[in-house]
Structure formats: structure tokens, C-alpha cells
Amino acid sequence: MIALGCDHGGFNLISAIKKHFDEQGIAYKDFGTYSEDSVDYPVYACKVANAVVSGECELGILCCGTGIGMSIAANKVKGIRAAVCSEPMTARLCREHNNANIIAFGARIIGIATAEAICDAFLSAQFAGGDRHERRVGLITEIENKR
């Protein structure tokens, strides 16, 4: 199950991603927002981040105007590694190297086709693991635990 979240700026692009997932039979849970009425992006970043750390959803996808605010907010939740992606290679590598569990992108930055390609790359990639990547992701967790 993939957790989806957006603010008003990301609403149209997340709606397009939902259609893309429907066509592929990918299961998702939509945590809102559900219209273009102005809302505060940290609220939706928090809902998606909590769904991922609780295990309710395996991965999360967030969309706002830039992807930046969503990613900053999601990364405040312990256990979240959220990456802003504007092209598919970053989306693949953030899974493989950083074990990212959320991606964020900006509806003011990318279009539907790129967002679809980013989601496909993120969902089809796996954490590469191995000594190097395990150690580095472990060091991120150490930083988090020292806060």
C-alpha cells in the first residue's frame, strides 16, 4: 500500500498519479488534501509519514508546489527518509542507496509524464543494502537517535 499526500498545489498532479496507479492496479491510500482549497502542507506530510513509520503503508509519495516543504516536514518524523525528486534516476537511487521511504515532488516543477516516471522508478527499485549503504543509512539513524 502506497501512502499519497498533497497540498492544494499538488492536488492535480497527485490526482493524475492516482489515475496512473489505478491503470496499473497499484494500491494506494489517499491522505488528502482532496481539493485545490488552500491548506498547510505539513499536515499532509505528517499523515503520510506516520502511515509509513507505523507500517500501515510501505512507501509514501508527497506532492506540493516544489516538493521541498513536504520533504522537510516528513523528514522530521523519526524513521522517515524523504527525498525530493525531479527526475526518475534520483527516484531510483534514493531507494537503492538511501533506502528512502518517501519521495516528494513539485507540481510547479515537473509535469505529469515525469511524475509518473518518477513514481514508477521509485516503486520498482529496492534498497541495494550491502556494507556501504547499510552503514551509511545506519549513520543517518544514529544522528536521528541523538536528537
Catalytically active residues are 64, 97
Question: For residues 133 and 99, is the Cβ–Cβ distance under 8 A?
Answer: yes
Give the range of 44-52, 65-73, 90-98, 116-124 binding ligand RB5 by CB under 6 A.
65-73
Give the Å distances, CA to CA, from 136 to 74, 123, 129, 130.
Answer: 20, 22, 10, 10
Question: How many residues of this chain bind ligand RB5 (CB under 6 A)?
Answer: 8
Exposed e or buried b per residue across 17-44, where buried means at least 16 C-beta atoms within 10 angstroms of its C-beta:
beebbeeeeeebebbbbeeeeebebbeb
**66, 90, 99, 101: which one contacts ligand RB5 (CB under 6 A)?**
66
Closer by beta carbon to ligand RB5, 46 or else 125: 46
Considering the rule CB under 6 A, would residue 69 count as an interface residue with ligand RB5?
yes
Measured CA angle at 47 (ends 100, 78), to 5 deg:
50
Distance CA 37, CA 132 (A): 44
**3, 4, 5, 7: which one contacts ligand RB5 (CB under 6 A)?**
7
Give the range of 61-69, 84-92, 110-118, 125-133 binding ligand RB5 by CB under 6 A.
61-69
Considering the rule CB under 6 A, would residue 52 count as an interface residue with ligand RB5?
no
Q: Catalog residues that contact ligand RB5 under the rule CB under 6 A.
A: 7, 9, 41, 64-66, 68-69
